[in-house]
C-alpha cells in the first residue's frame, strides 16, 4: 500500500536575509549541520520528520554566516516524495550592495538518513572571485580513496588509491590532481566530487577548465569547498553524506561500478543529469566539452549494485529525470549531431529513441525498486509520447509492422531517418515492460506491431557476407553498416525473455537473430 504522497512544488520568494561571515575576500561561507538520532528539523521547513527506527540522520546544513558579503535568499523551493524531501535555494551574493554572483544549493534529505547536496556558483561582473564554503562535517581520522588514471582517462585502466589513517588538516589532497574522493570513518562517511568549472558553450555544451578545478580539503572545521570563478563560466560541487558505510570496498562488483561510473572526472553529475565527453561528431566540438546524456546509464546500472552510495545516487538521478522531462514527454539531446544534420536535417535538441527510452526504462525500474509513484507517472508520459511517435514515424512492413525511425526533430516534422535494430528491440522491450507494470493495452499493441516489423524483416537483417547482423535499415530495402559487437545481442536476449514470459513460447525470429549474432561473436573469439 502506497502511503499518501505530498507532492506540491512550492517556490518561495523570501525577504529573509541571512547575514553570514566571510573570513577574507573571497571569503568563506560557513554552514551548520548536525547528525541526529530521532527527530530531524530542517531550517525554514514546516514539515518535521520524526523517526523511531533508531538510525542516525545527516541534517541538511543551512548557509548562515558571512563577513564582508551579504548572502540574500531570493528563491526557495520544497518538494516531497515518498523516499526523500528536496529543498532548493538560490542566493544572491552581494558585496557593497552590488550582486557579484549567485549560489544555487540543492539537497535531498533521504528517508534512509543520508544527505545529498549540490552547489553551483555563477559569478557576475568583471571582478571575479572564487567562493569558499565550509561544510560542517568533521572527519578527525579517516581513510580516503580516489580514482586515479595512470594511463590517461581510460576507465579500464583506472585504479583506486587508498590512503589510510589520515587526520584532519592533512595536506594530501592539495598534492593530488582534482578527482572524486570517498571518505570512510567510524562515525561519518562521504563522497565528494571535486569543484569543476566550465565555460558556457552553445547548445548547452559545457567546456571544462580542468586547470582551474579544485579538490576539497579536510580541515578541523569541516570540509572546505572552493568554487572557482572565470569569465563566462560556472562551477559546481556535490556530495553524499551518510552515517552508514557508503561502499563495501571488499565487494569487487561495487569497486568496478565505482570505476566505471566515475562521477567526477570522466562522467559528470551536473545536478540536472549525467554529462559525457562530447563525441567528435557533435557540434560545436571541443575536446574538453561535455553534454548531457538522458540515458542515465550509471544511475540505471547502480540500481543493481548493493550499497548505500549506489542506492542514493540511483534514486537522485531517476528523480531528476522527472524534472528534466519536457512537456511532450521526452528529454532530447542538446548538441547537434553533424551526421544526422547532413543526412536528415536533424538539428540540435533532437529526439533519440534509444537514449530517451533508456531514461524511461530507468524511471520504470526505479519505480519498481523505490515504489515512487512519480517515477511511474513520468514513465507513462514518455510511453504515451513514444507510442504516438512510433505509429506516425516508421517504415511499414508487409504485415503492417513498424520499423520506427531512430530520431525525431520537431523543427522538421515528417523526416525519415534510418532504423537501427538495437533501437527497435530496446523500444519494444520498454513497451513490454510498461505493459507488465500498467496492463495498458496500447503499449502491448504498439510493441506487437514493432515485433511484427522485426518478424517481417528478420532475414534482411542478416549480413550474409560477414555472418553478422546489419546495424540499420536505410529505406528502399537497404540494410547496411556493421552492428555493435554486443549491444544488440543483449537487447535481443532480453526481448526473448520478455516475450517468452508473456506468451509462454520463444519467438522464432528473435531466436534466429540471437543465433546469428552468437555464432558471429564466437567466430571472432568474443565470449558474451
CATH code at 438?
1.50.10.20
Q: 478 and 373 share a domain?
A: yes
Taking the whole predicted model, whether its pTM rises above 0.85 is answered as yes
Of 324, 350, 381, which residue constitutes the final position of a domain? 324
Q: 467 and 319 share a domain?
A: no
Q: 168 and 267 share a domain?
A: yes
Q: Looking at residue 264, what is its pLDDT?
A: 84
Q: How far apart are CA 165 and CA 240, in angstroms?
A: 21
pLDDT of 48 strictly over 70: no
Give the structural domain span for 192: 10-277+284-324
Domain membership flag for residue 454:
yes
Q: 24 and 59 share a domain?
A: yes
Mean of pLDDT values over 145-159: 89
Q: Looking at residue 164, what is its pLDDT?
A: 96
Q: 319 and 393 share a domain?
A: no
Domains identified in the chain, total number = 2
Of the chain, the percentage scoring pLDDT greater than 70 comes to: 89
pLDDT, tens digit, for every residue of 444-458?
A: 999 999 999 999 999
Contact 176, 245 (CB under 8 A): no
Q: How far apart are the first and last CA of the chain?
A: 40
pLDDT of 1 strictly over 50: no
Task: For residue 409, name the pLDDT band (cuts at 50, 70, 90).
Answer: very high
Radius of gyration of the chain (CA): 25
Task: For residue 46, name the pLDDT band (cuts at 50, 70, 90).
Answer: very low
Domain membership flag for residue 330:
no
Domain membership flag for residue 4:
no
Q: Looking at residue 69, what is its pLDDT?
A: 73
Q: 20 and 157 share a domain?
A: yes
Cβ-based neighbour number of residue 437 at 10 Å: 17
Q: 61-70, 161-170, 499-508: which has the minimum mean pLDDT?
A: 61-70
pLDDT, tens digit, for every residue of 329-343?
A: 999 999 999 999 999
Q: How far apart are CA 167 and CA 317, in angstroms?
A: 32
Domain membership flag for residue 329:
no
pLDDT of 11 strictly over 60: no
For 395, phi then psi, to 5°, come to -80, 135
CA 407 to chain centre: 21
Mean of pLDDT values over 415-435: 98
Strands (E), 342-467: 351-352, 394-396, 402-404, 407-408, 419-420
Q: How far apart are CA 57 and CA 42, in angstroms?
A: 12
Q: 25-29, 95-99, 278-282: which has the minimum mean pLDDT?
A: 25-29
Domain membership flag for residue 2:
no
Mean of pLDDT values over 411-433: 96
Mean of pLDDT values over 207-218: 96
Q: Who's near 17: CB < 8 A, 6+ residues apart?
A: 70, 71, 72, 73
Contact 367, 375 (CB under 8 A): yes
Q: 311 and 358 share a domain?
A: no
Q: 351 and 377 share a domain?
A: yes
Q: Looking at residue 30, what is its pLDDT?
A: 60
Of 324, 356, 387, which residue constitutes the final position of a domain? 324
Mean pLDDT (the chain) is 89
Task: For residue 56, name the pLDDT band (cuts at 50, 70, 90).
Answer: confident
Domain membership flag for residue 63:
yes
pLDDT, tens digit, for every residue of 62-101?
A: 876 556 678 899 999 999 999 999 999 999 988 888 888 9
Contact 253, 165 (CB under 8 A): no
Give residue 273's region: left, alpha or beta (phi > 0; psi -120 to 50): left
pLDDT, tens digit, for every residue of 331-388?
A: 999 999 999 999 999 999 999 999 999 999 999 999 999 999 999 999 999 999 999 9
Q: Looking at residue 155, what is its pLDDT?
A: 83
Cα–Cα–Cα angle for 403, 409, 412, rounded to 5 degrees:
105
Q: 268 and 165 share a domain?
A: yes
Domain membership flag for residue 528:
no
Contact 118, 86 (CB under 8 A): no
pLDDT of 421 strictly over 50: yes
Domain membership flag for residue 434:
yes
Q: 311 and 384 share a domain?
A: no
Q: 110 and 245 share a domain?
A: yes
Q: 212 and 347 share a domain?
A: no
Amino acid at each position: 500500500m502506497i502511503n499518501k504522497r505530498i507532492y506540491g512544488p512550492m517556490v518561495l520568494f523570501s525577504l529573509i536575509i541571512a547575514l553570514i561571515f566571510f573570513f577574507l575576500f573571497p571569503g568563506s561561507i560557513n554552514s551548520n549541520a548536525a547528525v541526529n538520532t530521532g527527530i530531524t528539523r530542517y531550517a525554514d521547513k514546516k514539515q518535521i520528520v520524526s523517526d523511531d527506527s533508531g538510525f542516525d540522520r545527516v541534517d541538511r546544513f543551512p548557509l548562515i554566516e558571512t563577513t564582508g558579503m551579504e548572502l540574500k535568499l531570493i528563491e526557495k523551493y520544497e518538494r516531497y516524495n515518498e523516499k526523500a524531501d528536496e529543498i532548493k535555494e538560490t542566493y544572491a551574493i552581494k558585496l557593497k550592495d552590488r550582486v557579484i554572483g549567485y549560489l544555487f544549493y540543492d539537497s535531498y534529505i533521504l528517508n534512509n538518513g543520508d544527505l545529498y547536496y549540490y552547489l553551483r556558483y555563477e559569478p557576475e561582473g568583471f571582478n571575479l572571485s572564487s567562493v569558499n564554503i565550509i561544510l560542517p562535517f568533521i572527519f578527525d581520522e579517516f581513510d580516503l580513496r580516489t580514482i586515479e588514471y595512470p594511463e590517461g582517462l581510460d576507465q579500464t585502466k583506472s585504479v583506486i588509491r587508498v590512503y589510510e589513517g589520515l587526520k584532519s588538516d592533512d595536506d594530501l589532497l592539495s598534492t593530488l590532481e582534482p578527482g572524486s574522493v570517498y571518505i570512510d570513518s567510524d562515525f561519518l562517511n562521504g563522497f565528494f566530487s571535486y569543484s569543476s568549472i566550465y565555460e558556457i558553450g552553445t547548445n548547452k555544451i559545457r567546456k571544462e577548465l580542468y586547470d582551474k578545478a579544485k579538490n576539497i580539503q579536510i580541515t578541523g572545521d569541516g570540509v572546505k569547498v572552493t568554487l572557482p570563478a572565470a569569465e563566462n563560466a560556472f562551477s559546481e560541487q556535490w556530495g553524499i553524506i551518510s552515517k552508514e558505510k557508503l561502499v563495501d570496498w571488499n565487494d569487487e562488483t561495487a569497486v568496478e561500478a565505482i570505476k566505471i561510473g566515475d562521477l567526477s572526472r570522466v562522467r559528470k553529475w551536473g545536478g540536472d543529469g549525467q554529462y559525457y565527453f562530447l563525441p567528435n561528431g557533435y557540434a560545436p566540438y571541443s575536446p574538453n566539452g561535455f553534454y548531457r546524456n538522458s540515458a542515465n546509464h550509471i544511475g540505471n546500472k547502480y540500481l543493481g549494485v548493493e550499497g548505500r552510495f549506489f542506492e542514493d545516487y540511483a534514486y537522485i538521478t531517476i528523480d531528476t529525470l522527472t524534472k528534466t522531462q519536457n512537456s511532450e514527454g521526452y528529454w532530447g539531446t542538446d548538441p547537434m549531431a553533424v551526421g544526422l544534420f547532413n543526412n536528415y536535417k536533424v538539428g540540435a535538441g533532437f529526439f533519440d529513441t534509444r537514449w530517451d527510452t533508456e531514461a524511461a526504462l530507468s524511471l520504470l525500474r526505479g519505480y519498481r525498486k523505490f515504489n515512487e509513484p512519480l517515477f511511474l507517472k513520468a514513465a507513462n508520459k514518455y510511453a504515451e509520447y513514444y507510442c504516438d511517435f512510433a505509429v506516425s514515424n516508421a517504415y511499414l512492413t508487409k504485415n503492417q509492422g513498424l520499423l520506427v525511425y531512430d530520431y525525431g526533430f520537431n523543427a522538421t516534422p515528417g523526416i525519415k531517418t534510418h532504423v537501427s535494430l538495437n533501437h527497435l528491440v530496446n523500444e519494444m522491450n520498454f513497451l513490454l515492460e510498461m505493459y507488465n507494470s500498467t496492463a495498458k493495452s496500447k503499449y502491448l499493441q504498439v510493441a506487437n506491431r514493432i515485433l511484427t516489423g522485426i518478424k517481417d524483416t528478420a532475414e534482411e537483417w542478416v549480413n550474409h557476407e560477414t555472418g553478422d547482423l546489419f546495424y540499420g535499415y536505410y529505406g528502399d530495402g537497404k540494410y547496411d553498416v556493421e552492428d555493435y559487437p554486443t549491444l544488440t545481442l543483449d537487447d535481443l536476449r532480453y526481448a526473448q525473455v520478455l516475450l517468452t514470459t508473456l506468451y509462454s513460447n520463444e519467438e522464432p525470429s528473435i531466436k534466429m537473430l540471437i543465433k546469428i549474432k552468437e555464432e558471429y561473436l564466437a567466430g571472432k573469439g568474443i565470449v558474451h
